[in-house]
Structures are given as structure tokens and as C-alpha cells.
Amino acid sequence: MGLEWDEKTFTKFTYLSDLRISRDGSIITYTLTKASLEKDKYESTVVIEYLGEGVRKYIDNASMARPSPNGRELLVARTDEKSHKSTILLYELGTLTYRKLREYENLAGLEWSPNGRLVMAVTTRRRGDEHLFFEDRTPVWFDSKGFLDGEKGVIHVLDKDSAEILDEVTINYFLMPYFKPAVWHGEELVYAVPLEENPYKLFDAYIHEVGGKSEKILDRASLMPIHSNGKEILMLGKPRKKFLSEHEFPYIWRDGELKPLVEGIKYEVASGALDAGGNAYLTLMEEGNVPLYKAVNGGLKELVRGNLTVTEFDVSDSGKVALLMETDTKLAEVHVLDGSELKQLTDYNGPVLKALGTQPMNHFRYDSLGLSIDGWFIKPGKRAEGSKAPVIVFVHGGPKGMYGYRFRYEFQLMASRGYYVVFVNPRGSAGYDEEFALKVLNRTGLEDFQDILNGVKEFLKLVDDTDPEKIGITGISYGGFMTNWAVTQSDLFKAGVSENGISYWLTSYAFSDIGLWFDKEVIGNDPLHNENYRRLSPLFHADRVKASLLLIHSLEDYRCPLDQSVMFYHVLKALGKDAYIAVFKKGPHGHSIKGTPKHRMKRYKLIMEFFDRKLVRNEKFDVDEVLKSFKKSNF
């Protein structure tokens, strides 16, 4: 029997991440991850590519691989499953022998200094009382971290030969996920401290001399240092933002002077790096694509572009680029750009995807309330001849998320089951100019929802083999809010699956880890008196719901906390609506990716079965039958 798309197919794929290239350009490393249903865990392997030799070697049960600047040594982290402590190991790459450097309970970052002698290890420190958490700052908790308990970031500078700590720097705030806490700048450190009044928008930046003092170089700026070549520091953001939703642009700091790297960039910069000569390499979010550029003479030169997404990249001193690149039908693989030659280095997923078959994205553009909006649809992989196909509308997170040319498992899964999959980038999305992104502020659920509705209507004009009476909607986070909102504002949707969404903006403001800043921006200031917090909340329009609704939430979500789905569910049931709720006992806001393999499998199965029964078979949703199917499969 050949490979088929189902709720377990994601375990057949190989996921690549954390790509690095040594400064001399001789070594590429990355982490290869596979999901095991039998063990209900993810197994990680560090892969070492010796470019000049065409040799590939592996280190099992390891992650966070960091090749030394000269390509002769390698740092990796190995985490113990029971204690969750991470051990830093130093490998000699010629023989792959190793020795232990240090052990940390919360290892969050690891980087070589340019001279290859010092190592930066980033960790955290909390109060750690065995009976209680205590906090005198906001927020009290944060997604993927739980209760913060006074967490502070700690940077250790290690001597790799003696394994001793030569210096310690304390960051007087918790370590924000997805932000680089520090980078090497020559043999000094540059680090940013988020400010409590708005830690996503305001930072103080410092340069620290190892064994000496820290000097503040930026005060209350909206810039985060992301890379350095020892002369210049590359920063992303703006000198001072008014809104979190403003774009991130590249700036160069050198000898106390801050300048824009390139003037007049329309699109938001996703990431960047510098080579030894001061050339900057950038990925930009462009209307569903994420291409790679090089900054040249105040402008941008295209290096890698097309209908694709460069998810990660790293640059050697000489400008050789290692990158992870994916498309709508292909998972990310390693590529190397050397001069003008782009070469694909790996093909872990090609044979599996060929055996499964994938459906490409079809683009369309339409006018919505005076704006030009991008939309896409994926055709069903199979269905009965002559039948009208049901439709699933997906809504991305954010609102400043972006759909485009990336491989999305749920899209391929639902298309394989006979559904058209439709998705658009409404106003507020990333990937367009800054004005487009800001149009959703204080109006979330109004014009952006109309953009989605208009996209569905345009799709129905383009395709004549759909059933307009069988349209579902789903999304997570902002997509979950929009699903809740959609079924209260329109009768177009016959079923919805809302994941970790918002139903009442006031409690989100007060309860979410980012609500004190984010909700005030997208809904409005003065939450206790602003009418938007009621009129834009799906909860207060629950009596209008006619669709069947499945609410999925994760118990450990501190971004859009559990109360949001529980409140909406209780009110819907009290009104006699066809509503269901599934609460996963573990997993953060991004549980769709970060949940354990069995968790993810059950989530996929719930979504598939709910839409099949409500849109196709018009049956009652019996979750006990779904759960029994897992037991029969021994999972």
C-alpha cells in the first residue's frame, strides 16, 4: 500500500531548522527533526555538511549546532529528557570526539565569538520558590514559558578551553521568544533589554566589554540588534515606533552613528546578516513570497526569488549563503548560493512528497473596498465524478501574518479529502506596504472580515464546481477570532473550527501575556470604557450563530487564554447552538506545531472529522467515535 494523506502523514516528513554556515564557508550545520508517534516525541539529529569534501556526518540526540569560525570545531546542546537540563558539548570535527563544557537548566542561546576562543551561552534565572510564583512586573506569564516568576536573562561568556565562566551579564527582563537577546560584535557583546511598558516596541541597547562594563548605545529605541561583522551592527526596526504593527526596516549602527541601510523599502524585512566586507543580506516579505536580497549601493539586488519562501539563511565572511527554502508543494531543503550559482544540497522530502502527490496554489487578485487583495485556492486532490466540492476557508494568524508560497500541511490534507482550500491576505496582513498593515488597527473584524468575504465570493465566480452551501472556515489565533467573528456576522459558513481564538477582547486585554500592549493597539485605547471591546467581540453576537462550531484550545495557551473558548462555548450552548469544545491538556499557543506528535495527530483528526460530518455527511459530530479510532490504531 502506498503513502496516503491522513492525520499521521506529517510523521513521514523530515523537518530542517537552525541552519548555520561557518565563517570560513567550509561547514554547514542544521538540525533534522522527525516526529515519532510510537514514542510521542520529536527526535533531533545535528547534520554536518563538509562542503569542500561532499561529506555528511550526523550527531544524534542533539540540537543548537554552532560551527566554529574556522570550521574545525562544533558546539551542540544535548538535553536530558527527564531533567530537561541541556549540556553543551564541544566536538572536534576531524574525529567527532567531544568533551563537556557546561550544563544549564534553561539554555536559550549559544554562539561563538569571532576569534573562536570564547562562547556566549544565554540562559535564565527565576526566583524558584517551591511553593509560589511571585511577580511585581507585567506580564505575570508568557506563552511557552508559563509563570515568569521574576525571570531575568543571563549571558555567560565561557572560555572554551578551560570551560570556565569569564563574565556574566544580567538582562533585567525575561527573555522574549523569537528575539535575539545578544550578538557578538567583534570580541564585545551587544544586547537589548526590553522595556516593561511595551517590551515588543521599546528597547535599550548596550555594548559590553567582556570582563568590563556595559555602555548604552540606544535609549528607548524600537530597534533590535540581529547581526554584526565586528565593524557594523545590523538592526531591525525603527528609531521609534508608534505602533507595534509598523514594519521592521534594516539599520546599521557604526561608531555611535545609526543610519538606514536602504532608503524607501516598501516591504517588511524578515531577517538579515552581514558578511565580513559589510554587505548586508536580507529576506523581505513580499505579497506571499519571501525572497533573498543583497543590499548594494543603497538599493537591493535580487539573489533568490520566485514563488518561494526563504525560511532561514546564514552568511559566511566571504558572502557564501546557506539557506532553507520551500514552496507551496515542497518542504524546506538546504540550498547554497555561492556567487551567482544556487545549488540544492538536500532532498530529504522529495521522494515522500512525490509518492503522496501535492496540489499547487492558484493565485487570484480582487478588489475589496478599494484595496487590491491577494487570494489563492488549492483544488481538491480527489472527489466523486460530477459532484460539487465543499470549501474550507483558512484565515492566518496575526492579524499581521501572511499566506503565500510555503508548504502547509493542513492545506494539502484537506485538499486530499476532496475540499477546495481558499485563503487570502486581508488588510492588516504582512507582505504589503505599511499603510496596508495599519488599516486594521481599531477596526479588527470590520473591513478585514469584508476582505475575506469578498475573497470567497470572488473564488466562487472563478470556480463552478463548488457547493456554496458547504463552506467552512477555520484558523488559529487571529484566525480563531475571525472564525468566531465570521459565524456571528454571516450565514455563508455552515461550519467552523476555531482554534485558540478570541471571543471577548476585554478579558483578552487583561488576561493575555501581550494584551496590555497588543489589544490596545488592534482594538483601541482605554479598554475599560472603549465600546470596541464589546462591539468587536464575538461573544456579544453569539445569538446570531447558525453554523456548527468546534472550538479547539490548548490549556497552556497564555497568548489567547482558555477563557476565550470556554466563555464562547458556554454562551453558545446556553443559546441552544450546535457547539463543541476540545481542550488539549498541554501545549502553548502554537500547539498546532509545538504539540507532541500524538497531540498533533488528534488535532488533525478532529478537524478532518468535524468538517466531513458537518459539511459533507450532515451528521452529528460524535467525538467518542473519533477517540475510538485512535485506540484501534494503537496510538
Instruction: Give the position of cell 532553507.
Output: 324
- Residue 189 backbone phi and psi in degrees, to 5: -110, 145
Q: What angle do CA 202, 203, 209 make, to 5 degrees?
A: 175
**pLDDT computed for residue 620 by the predictor:** 86
Q: Are 413 and 333 in contact (CB under 8 A)?
A: no
Q: Are 429 and 366 in contact (CB under 8 A)?
A: no
pLDDT tens digits for range 465-507: 999 999 999 999 999 999 999 999 999 999 999 999 999 999 9
**pLDDT computed for residue 629 by the predictor:** 75
pLDDT tens digits for range 242-258: 999 999 999 999 999 99
DSSP secondary structure string for all residues of 141-180 = EETTTEE-TT-EEEEEEEETTT--EEEEEEESSPPPTTS-
Give percent of the chain above pLDDT 70.
Answer: 99
**pLDDT computed for residue 625 by the predictor:** 83
- Sheet containing strand 299-304, strands side by side: 268-274, 280-285, 292-296, 299-304
pLDDT tens digits for range 415-466: 999 999 999 999 999 999 999 999 999 999 999 999 999 999 999 999 999 9
pLDDT tens digits for range 119-178: 999 999 999 999 999 999 999 999 999 999 999 999 999 999 999 999 999 999 999 988
**pLDDT computed for residue 633 by the predictor:** 58
Three cell numbers at 527?
479598554
Distance CA 255, CA 236 (A): 18
pLDDT over 60 at 306, yes or no: yes
**pLDDT computed for residue 595 by the predictor:** 95
**pLDDT computed for residue 382 by the predictor:** 79
Name the nearest CA neighbour of 345 among 27, 120, 6, 103.
27
Give strand pairing partners of 184: 189
Residue 575: Cβ within 10 Å count: 12
Instruction: Say what the pTM is.
Output: 0.96
Three cell numbers at 438?
495599519
Instruction: Give the position of cell 477596526.
Output: 443
Distance CA 457, CA 368 (A): 11
Q: Are 513 and 560 in contact (CB under 8 A)?
A: no
Q: What is the mean pLDDT of the chain?
A: 96
Distance CA 56, CA 430 (A): 37
The CATH fold of domain 359-632: Rossmann fold (3.40.50)
3-class secondary structure for 325-341? EECCCCCCEEEEEECCE
**pLDDT computed for residue 298 by the predictor:** 87
Give strand pairing partners of 302: 293
Strands 165-171 and 152-159: antiparallel
Region of residue 547 (phi > 0: left; psi between -120 and 50: alpha; otherwise: beta) = beta
pLDDT over 90 at 222, yes or no: yes
Helix (H) or strand (E) holding 86, with range, is: strand 86-92
pLDDT over 70 at 523, yes or no: yes
SS3 594: helix
275 by Cβ neighbours in 10 Å (0-12 / 13-18 / 19+) ranks as: buried
* All residues at 6 or more sequence positions from 295 whose CB lies less than 8 Å from its CB, including other chains: 250, 261, 262, 279, 280, 281, 282, 301
Q: Are 151 and 105 in contact (CB under 8 A)?
A: no
**pLDDT computed for residue 628 by the predictor:** 79
- pLDDT band for position 181 (cuts 50, 70, 90): confident
Distance CA 46, CA 63 (A): 6
Name the nearest CA neighbour of 236 among 298, 284, 277.
284
Distance CA 25, CA 70 (A): 8
pLDDT tens digits for range 375-405: 999 999 977 677 899 999 999 999 999 999 9
Q: Report the Cα–Cα distance between both ends of the chain, in Å, rounded.
A: 20
**pLDDT computed for residue 627 by the predictor:** 78
Domain range annotation of the chain: 359-632
- Residue 93 backbone phi and psi in degrees, to 5: -75, -20
**pLDDT computed for residue 400 by the predictor:** 97
Q: Are 555 and 562 in contact (CB under 8 A)?
A: yes
Q: Are 63 and 46 in contact (CB under 8 A)?
A: yes
**pLDDT computed for residue 354 by the predictor:** 97
- pLDDT band for position 626 (cuts 50, 70, 90): confident
**pLDDT computed for residue 634 by the predictor:** 55
Distance CA 495, CA 551 (A): 11
pLDDT tens digits for range 81-101: 888 899 999 999 999 999 999
SS3 384: coil
3-class secondary structure for 2-54? CCCCCCCHHHHCCEEEEEEECCCCCEEEEEEEEEECCCCEEEEEEEEEECCCC
